[in-house]
């Protein structure tokens, strides 16, 4: 594989985020794995996002007021990741549908 440029990475950014939270569709895994093999920057992004996603369940939210946490935040984050992944797939000519947890 030739040298990967930052522009080549754009279609994979949302997919890396979905991978980090365990929501990457099977149909996307091979293409992302091939890109990661040739792209050190994206491998670093994957490492950082995976570490962050592993820490999130350990965060003590008990000290926060519920008013400090926007309602529906997790759904909004997942929807944004899915929208970005759909946009990226359109750039690459692919189509896959993902849904946030708790929706059908």
Decide: 98 and 85 in contact? Cβ < 8 Å: yes
Task: Judge residue 28's burial from the number of C-beta atoms within 10 Å of its C-beta, 0-12 exposed, 13-18 middle, 19 or more buried.
Answer: buried
The torsion defined by the Cα of 98, 100, 12 and 20, in degrees rounded to 10, comes to -130
Beta strands in 1-104 (DSSP E): none
Q: What is the pLDDT of residues 35-85, one digit of tens each?
A: 999 999 999 999 999 998 888 777 776 766 666 666 677 777 777 877 777
Task: Judge residue 86's burial from the number of C-beta atoms within 10 Å of its C-beta, 0-12 exposed, 13-18 middle, 19 or more buried.
Answer: middle
Q: What is the pTM of this model?
A: 0.56
Report the SS3 class of residue 96. coil
Q: What is the pLDDT of residues 10-22, one digit of tens each?
A: 889 899 999 998 9
């Amino acid at each position: 594989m030739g040298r990967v440029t930052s522009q080549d990475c754009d279609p994979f950014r949302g997919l890396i985020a979905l991978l980090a939270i365990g929501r990457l569709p099977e149909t996307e895994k091979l293409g992302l794995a091939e890109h990661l093999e040739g792209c050190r920057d994206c491998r670093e992004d994957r490492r950082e996002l995976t570490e962050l996603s592993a820490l999130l369940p350990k965060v003590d939210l008990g000290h926060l007021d519920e008013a400090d946490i926007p309602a529906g935040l997790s759904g909004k984050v997942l929807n944004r990741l899915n929208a970005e992944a759909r946009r990226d797939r359109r750039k690459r000519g692919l189509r896959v549908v993902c849904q946030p947890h708790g929706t059908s």
